[in-house]
Structure 1
């Protein structure tokens, strides 16, 4: 049985490589110009230039070991639209050079444009702390 998510899993692997290499140009090639994003530091941003400036450039240089659970990802694919959700891990860097765990989760929406899957929406968030109490 074919894995319908195979092209999205490849996208996740490419994204992981871009984040690890702090390769903004490579990341841009994976996203639609009109992308809308929620991030770990940018609450709501629209447009590739803004997403890069407000989220990627503020996070990618100060994390290490960004790893997406590609095989554990779940999603769905139709003719020209798709989505995928996965968990990820990374290490944040402290002022003294030490690191701390920085786990999270993501959901991405895609559109097939010119025979390529491009992210039209990304939502990356940190995993809530264990035992966190919701506030109203």
Structure 2
């Protein structure tokens, strides 16, 4: 078997990966943690700004999401640029995306807060939505790693 990262991806699988990124951005913008939880496996593993490894959804929410989502605005993935790699059985995938957002300096001055992510996905059946099993999100070089906005959360 020849393994290729650029193997053709079923358009339906790619669309569901784009849907995952789209839905996550909606929840980040709404600062709605509870609504985003179903997008991630309970035991997902993440790299984070505030912790080297984060094991599990609840620790990720407490140690990452709640420190970032309320402090930024306009979080959007560049959905047309999302890349997908899908396993031959279509039960495992990797999605790669770039986001744009606005961060804030301590004095309230806005700055461009752009970054990228690699997300691994799994599902039990091909007709199911993708669920994140791992995320690695990072800011582009030179971007301040802390934003000082302060929005209320929905959940």
TM over 0.5: yes
User: 1:2, 1:32 → 2: CA distance?
Assistant: 23
Residue correspondence of structure 1 range 41-52 to structure 2 within 5 A:
41-52=50-61
Larger radius of gyration: 2
TM-score scaled by structure 2? 0.77
SS for the counterpart of 1:29 is: helix
Contact preservation (8 Å) 1:40, 1:126: no
Instruction: Give aligned pairs, total.
Output: 130
Pair 1:111 & 2:122 matched: yes
Q: CA RMSD in A?
A: 1.9
1:101 positional shift: 1.1
User: 1:31, 1:46 → 2: CA distance?
Assistant: 12
1:102 to 101, 113, 116: 113
Pair 1:32 & 2:41 matched: yes
1:14 positional shift: 0.2
Pair 1:77 & 2:90 matched: no
Residue correspondence of structure 1 range 46-61 to structure 2 within 5 A:
46-61=55-70
Instruction: Choose between structure 1 and 2: higher strand proportion.
Output: 1
Contact preservation (8 Å) 2:98, 2:116: yes
TM-score scaled by structure 1? 0.88
User: 1:10, 1:113 → 2: CA distance?
Assistant: 18
Superposed CA deviations along residues 22-60 of structure 1, whole A, max 9, x for unmatched, are 010111110000110112333310111100000000000
Structure showing greater relative contact order (alpha-carbon pairs closer than 8 Å, 6 or more residues apart): 2
Q: 1:72 to 1:81 in 2, by over 3 A?
A: same
